């Protein structure tokens, strides 16, 4: 799916609708990952962060969190929430072109990704 709020990206990357604040699924995922995965370090990447609602759960566990996504409107909503919460010094939302992550190698200590695999072949 493409539209005016998305970068040009490979046709195999289809945009979806991210979960909204208050959705039980967000807290459930967070609890499952926190309990089973050993996410440690200072820098967390949320690949396919959408509107950042899931990403915000992990902000309590990492000093620095970056979310990347292909959809501009979702990232704008995430950035507005980051600003509203006063977390701009700790959270970043970057647009991803669907080809190359805009990050240096080894710049993240851990990564999470939700609702991405169903949008790629």
Instruction: Note the pLDDT of residue 4.
Output: 52
Q: Is residue 112 over pLDDT 80?
A: yes
CA 84, chain centre distance (Å): 17
Identify the residue whose tokens are 């980051």.
82
Give the integer Cα–Cα distance in Å for 57 and 81: 13
Q: Which residue has the tokens 């977390």?
A: 87
Q: What is the pLDDT of residue 12?
A: 44
Q: Which residue is it, tokens 């990050």?
A: 103
The DSSP output letter for 20 is: P
Is the pTM of the predicted complex or chain greater than 0.85?
no
7, pLDDT greater than 90: no
- pLDDT-derived band of residue 38, with 50, 70 and 90 as boundaries? confident
Split at pLDDT 50, 70, 90, the class of 54 is very high
């Amino acid at each position: 799916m493409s539209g005016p709020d998305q970068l040009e990206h490979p046709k195999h990357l289809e945009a979806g609708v991210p979960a909204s604040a208050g959705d039980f699924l967000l807290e459930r995922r967070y609890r499952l990952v926190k309990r089973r995965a050993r996410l440690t370090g200072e820098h967390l990447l949320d690949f396919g962060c959408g509107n950042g609602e899931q990403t915000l759960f992990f902000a309590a566990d990492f000093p620095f969190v970056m979310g990347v996504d292909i959809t501009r409107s979702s990232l704008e909503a995430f950035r507005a929430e980051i600003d509203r919460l006063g977390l701009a010094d700790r959270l970043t939302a970057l647009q991803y072109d669907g080809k190359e992550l805009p990050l240096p190698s080894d710049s993240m200590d851990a990564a999470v990704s939700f609702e991405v695999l169903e949008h790629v072949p």
